Amino acid sequence: MTHDAIAVVDFGGQYAHLIATKIRRLRVLAEIRQPEDATELFTRYKGIILSGSPSLSAFGQDSAYNTALYDLDVPILGFCFGHQEIAKHYGGTVVHGGREWGPADLQLIGDSPLFAGLAPVERVFMSHFDSVTSVGPGFEEIGYTTLGASGQSHRFAAIASPALRRYGFQFHPEVDDTVHGDEMIANFVRGICGCAPSWTMERYVEERVEQVRQQVGDQSVFLLASGGVDSTVAARLLGMAIGADRLHLLHVDNGLMRKDESRAVLEAFRAFGLDRNLHFVDASDTFLAALAGAVEPEQKRTIIGNTFIEVFEREARQRGIAHHLLGQGTIYPDTIETGGTKRADTIKTHHNRVPVIEQMIAQGRVVEPLADLYKVEVRELGEKIGIPHDLIWRHPFPGPGLGVRLLCSTGIERRDGFDVMQPAVAAVAARYGLTAMALPIKSVGVKADLRSYEHPVLLSGDAAWDTLLEVAGQMFKDVSGINRCIWNLGLVAPTTARPLPATVTRARLELLREADHLVMEGLRRHGIYADIWQCPTVLVPMEVDGRGQEFVIVRPIHSERAMTATPAPLPAALCDELRAQILALPGVSGLALDVTTKPPGTIEWE
């Protein structure tokens, strides 16, 4: 069957495949193309979308690509970097400035078909350094953004040339935080480009099953099965493709699991009938020995990934199946955040993208049936192939487990830039009746598709939820060197904080397991577990006002694809319960709620 199709030009931004996913959900085929692809490869598409980019600057160097695309007689729409490139190509001006992170209000101008059926003001999501400040002949401004109560405006957030059929959005309509972004994309794909809907998930399943059969041939697959959504769906899909007799599942207790996690996983696999060749190994001693003394996040992730392979190879040899291919439930965020495409920046190395795995991939020894999908598509696929609802809708849990939620430290304070940062964050918070303190630690984040490793800010004081989000957004806009805001749930506002030396130990893991268990049970008890997409509990070795050794941070978020996220509020009664329970745990110095969007903060702290 021939499908109408849209080309998504991947400049390496975090969301290129997310754009393609959103188009596919309109039942229109979308294909990823590279910026240097030959012009003739684009001639069969009914429209082109230019993605964002982490490394190319629309007003600096390195923005060389096949600009002959603009000579094609098809509609072209650019997002973020793509928006800036369209403006620049047609005579507009782009400058390095006007940075924005997170939500903003788009004020529409005129009646562009891109915004058909939408309100005069739309909530959109920004993540950029460069900005369009003027447009060339034939172009017009069709929208600008404002930020909260400050009313600060960002001009040329949406531009158009109806005669040329060229359009640009400074914001990201593909992320779920742009409230009606799906409608904007649909207006372009179906309305302006005229694409007919004919692409379905059923068709995707058929093609993936056939692709797995072609890759595997007459070999067998040994899948590392964590029991999470991704590995469970991957196991089911592999079973459909090659049969249960040729599929072996290995569940590894790495000592970094949640409370009673391995027992629950094995029970779930047995109940679902995936236990024909189900193997289990307690490798907690092996992992903890490998992690002894490790502090840096990337080092820990690499150790965990390498140790998984060591355990896999050892178990495969002992069971006589060392020749099997390695199966993984890798999904696209794992690849893109590890810098897995030509221009993508490394946000963090996922355990299934460490060098030894990359080498096995190059050798054709790894099977990843979900590698092009996001979590929401994995869940949709899982439902279509008959996986029980409870397994499909579990909260995502990272492959490295609590290893990336147990922060470690040398005890050295990181106060670079604090002379400027501290008064700046205090001034922003004061405008909202709050106090603020930059913390002498760092966590990983993502800004304009680039990795950031910057400071969190601790907010203290009473405030409505919307106010907290607005304060955080203003912090990220006004103050350099921060990528997170957390809200103090303790009884008093701290005045001092310092990191303490700490590594991965059983005792710290047990404390984190208990705190995490209290949070998960609280979500279920208050009936909001299903409403929250993920809720990491993080342990930071930080003394506050001379008390305790561990600071606990709870990060409830709303998301669908993990590429963006918004913080989720918790009921006041649950906050009170967690305050009483977690602050009573031995050695806990404080408790806070993470109120950061992604970007600029990643979902996990490491």
Instruction: List CB contacts of 550: < 8 A, sequence separation 6 or more.
Output: 508, 511, 539, 540, 541, 542, 587, 588, 589
Between 20 and 192, residue with greater pLDDT: 192
pLDDT in tens, 467-498: 999 999 999 989 999 999 999 999 899 999 99
- Same domain as 182, residue 205: no
The last residue of one of the domains, among 400, 435, 452, is 400
pLDDT of residue 32: 84
Look at the chain and report how many structural domains it folds into.
3
pLDDT for residue 337: 46
Residue 21 has pLDDT above 90, yes or no: no
Joined together, the tokens standing for residue 15 give 């969301």
pLDDT number for residue 594? 98
Helix (H) or strand (E) holding 139: none
Residue 603 lies in a domain: no
The predicted structure's pLDDT at residue 313: 84
Reported confidence tier of residue 338, pLDDT bands at 50, 70, 90: very low
Average the pLDDT over 265-272 and give the result: 83
Q: Is residue 256 part of a domain?
A: yes
Residue given tokens 């922060």 in the structure block: 407
Using one digit for the tens of pLDDT, what is the confidence trace for 56-110?
444 444 456 899 999 999 999 999 989 999 999 999 999 876 667 778 899 999 9
At 431, list the tokens: 């405008």
d(CA 94, CA 272): 55
Co-location of 222 and 331 in the same domain: yes
Amino acid residing at 79? F
141 carries an active-site annotation: no
Check residue 490 and give its pLDDT: 93
Pairing relationship of beta strands 247-253 and 278-282 according to DSSP bridges? parallel
Which of 192, 225, 256 terminates a domain? The answer is 192
Do the Cβ atoms of 71 and 164 come closer than 8 Å?
A: no
Is the bond into 600 cis (omega within 30 degrees of 0)?
yes
Residues 172, 180, 251, 351: which is the catalytic one? 172
Mean pLDDT of 147-158: 75
Average pLDDT over residues 504-516: 98
Average pLDDT of the chain?
A: 88
Whether cis (ω within 30° of 0) applies to the bond prior to 197 is: no
The pLDDT score that the predictor gives to residue 353 is 55
CA 249/CA 260 separation, integer angstroms: 19
Q: Give the mean model confidence (pLDDT) for residues 403-419.
A: 93
Q: At what angle do helices 297-318 and 284-291 cross, to 10 degrees?
A: 150
**Confidence band (pLDDT; 50, 70, 90) for 339?**
very low
Query: Does 196 have pLDDT greater than 60?
Result: yes
Residue 229 included in any domain:
yes
Convert the pLDDT of each residue in 205-252 to its tens digit: 888 899 999 999 999 999 988 888 888 899 999 999 999 889 999 999
Same domain, 383 and 430: no
* 166-169 and 152-161 beta bridge pairing: antiparallel
Amino acid 14: pLDDT: 65
Per-residue buried b or exposed e for 218-256, using 16+ beta carbons within 10 Å of the residue's own CB: eebbbbbbbbbbbbbbbbbbbbbbbebebbbbbbbbbbb
Q: Measured between alpha carbons, how far is 168 from 135 in angstroms, rounded to an integer?
A: 11
Q: Considering 80, 193, 485, 535, which one is annotated as catalytic?
A: 80
Cα angle 395-401-406, degrees, rounded to a multiple of 5 = 115
- The span from the CA of 192 to the CA of 198, in Å, is 17
Does 350 have pLDDT greater than 60?
A: no
Which pLDDT score is estimated for 149? 56
Q: Please, are residues 95 and 133 in contact by the beta-carbon 8 Å criterion?
A: yes
- Over residues 550-569, the pLDDT tens digits come to 999 999 999 876 777 899 99
The answer to whether residue 147 sits within a structural domain is yes
Give yes or no for residue 324 having a pLDDT over 60: yes
The domain spanning residue 178 has which CATH number?
3.40.50.880
Q: Are 82 and 9 in contact (CB under 8 A)?
A: yes
**CA 587 to CA 165: how far, in whole Å?**
62
Mapping DSSP to helix (H, G, I), strand (E, B) and coil, where does residue 543 land? strand
Same domain, 383 and 243: yes
Report the alpha-carbon distance of residue 308 to residue 396 in Å, rounded: 19
Residues 84 and 145 both lie in one domain: yes
DSSP for 429-487 reads: HHTTT-EEEE-S--EEEEETTEEEEEEEEEEES---HHHHHHHHHHHHHH-TTEEEEEE
Residue 540, in any domain of the structure: yes
- Shared domain for 82 and 26, answered yes or no, is yes
How high is the pLDDT of residue 522?
98
Residue 448 pLDDT exceeds 70: no
Which helix (H) or strand (E) segment holds residue 89: the answer is: helix 81-89
Active site residue 195: no
Candidates 85, 100, 122, 174; catalytic one: 174
Q: CA-CA distance, 445 to 605, in Å (whole number)?
A: 8
Do the domain assignments include residue 411?
Answer: no
Contacts of 578 (CB under 8 A, 6+ apart): 489, 518, 519, 522, 554, 570, 591
Query: Between residues 91 and 453, which one has the greater pLDDT?
Result: 91
Which pLDDT score is estimated for 410?
96
- Give the C-alpha separation, 111 to 53, whole Å: 29
Q: Does residue 539 sit in the same domain as residue 520? A: yes
Looking at the fold, whether 176 and 223 belong to one and the same domain comes out as no
Q: Let me know if residue 307 belongs to a domain.
A: yes
Residue 268's domain spans which residues?
201-400
Residue 441 or 449, more confident: 441
pLDDT at residue 549, rounded to an integer:
94
Domain end call among 167, 192, 217? 192
pTM: 0.70
Query: Per residue, what are the HEC states of 303-358?
Result: HHHHHHHHHHHHHHHHCCCCCCEEECCCCHHHHHHECCCCCCCECCCCHHHCHHHH
Q: Where are the beta strands (DSSP E) in 162-285?
A: 166-169, 221-224, 247-253, 278-282
* Angle separating helix axes 355-362 and 297-318, nearest 10 degrees: 50
Compute the distance between CA of residue 59 and CA of residue 93 in angstroms, rounded to an integer. 8
Ramachandran assignment for 452, one of left (phi > 0), alpha (psi -120 to 50 degrees), beta (any other): beta
Same domain, 305 and 437: no
221/228 Cα distance (integer angstroms): 18
Q: Which residue has the higher pLDDT, 374 or 3?
A: 3
User: Can you count the helices (H) and strands (E) in the chain?
Assistant: 16, 25
| Domain CATH code at residue 374 | 3.40.50.620
Residue 174 appears among annotated catalytic residues: yes
**Enclosing H/E stretch for 583:** none
* Same domain membership, residue 465 and residue 545: yes
Residues 93 and 168 in one domain: yes
299 and 431 in a single domain? The answer is: no
In a domain, 407, yes or no: no
